[in-house]
Amino acid sequence: MSSKVIITAALSGSTTIKDQNPAVPYSPKEFAEEAALCYRAGAAMVHVHARLEDGTPTHEVESIRAVHDAIKEKTPELIVNLTSAVGMEKTPEQRLAQIVAIKPEMASLNTNTMNFGAVNRKTGEIIVDYVFDNTFTMLQDFSKAMEENGVKPEIECYDMGGVDNVLLIMKQGMFSDPMNFNFVWGVSGGQRFRPDAFAAMVHALPPNANFTTCGVGRDEFPAIMQSCIMGGHMRVGLEDNVRLPNGELAKGNYELVALAVQVAELCSREPATPDEARAIMGLRGFSSMDTTTGYDPE
């Protein structure tokens, strides 16, 4: 197990709004300021769903570029991971165009079609309900386009089926080592966090793969703790959870990053710098370095 742990801050998502937490960034300036605070708190990477000024999620390339460039201008050290899920019912072309045009160091790659929405956990009332399309063809086309443009895929798995889908598609040889997986817990339509399910997904990964995890709401902190214990990495942020463990609203993404740093310290691990994270994940310019940092059962 590597002593270094990569902490990612997911700054906004496509559905979290200022009514839920005023710190959710909308403008390029707000994204840049949040990202800088997260870097100072211990994050090596930020995950970005760009917004228009009114908070609407956007697939518009130039709007996304403005956010990406504002973050890199203020904090050039940071890794920027752009989403390929830019909002409900966007076409595959709309989802992929901004990745190919901007060529971030990393981008999300979703692995299976699934129900995706919001359900009141107390009453079971359905608040948002749609089908998130991620066909085998899209998985193939997105992964090829990312690798051809020097964009490292972050492979998003909402359940074991996502891992199995990748194991099928990877036989075409389209993924370069090391592969980087993110386990997502607590999304309505995906699976809730369960330690045994987490361990099963880790043990199903290809050799030398890296893994990180994120959890929605109350799943956030138990999930990142298990990931850190098992040698993986951690994602926190207002996209996933707007509150601290005591129930108070987080003042910003940076407060959640600071808690992830505390988790790392409790596990006798150190937050990776952005360049250490680049080496671990095999990002541009670091592919020749030792990148074997996945789970080691020994």
For the stretch 238-271, pLDDT in tens is 999 999 999 999 999 999 999 999 999 999 999 9
Superfamily of domain covering 4-281 = Aldolase class I (3.20.20.70)
Q: Please give the distance of CA 148 from its chain centroid, rounded to a whole number.
A: 21
Interacting residues of 102 by C-beta distance below 8 A, sequence separation 6+: 61, 64, 65, 68, 82
Give dist(CA 253, CA 45) in Å, integer.
12
- Hey, what are 113's tokens? 């079609």
pLDDT above 90 covers a percentage of the chain that reads 86
* Mean pLDDT over the full length of the chain: 93
**Beta partners for residue 155, in sequence order:** 109, 181
pLDDT at 294 over 80: no
pLDDT at 159 over 50: yes
* Sign for the pseudo-dihedral over CA of 90, 93, 96, 99: negative
Q: φ and ψ at 142, to 5 degrees?
A: -65, -45
Asked if residue 143 lies in contact with residue 153, where contact means CB atoms within 8 angstroms, the answer is yes
Asked if residue 38 lies in contact with residue 254, where contact means CB atoms within 8 angstroms, the answer is yes
**Beta partners for residue 215, in sequence order:** 185
Give dist(CA 59, CA 165) in Å, integer.
26
pLDDT of residue 89: 84
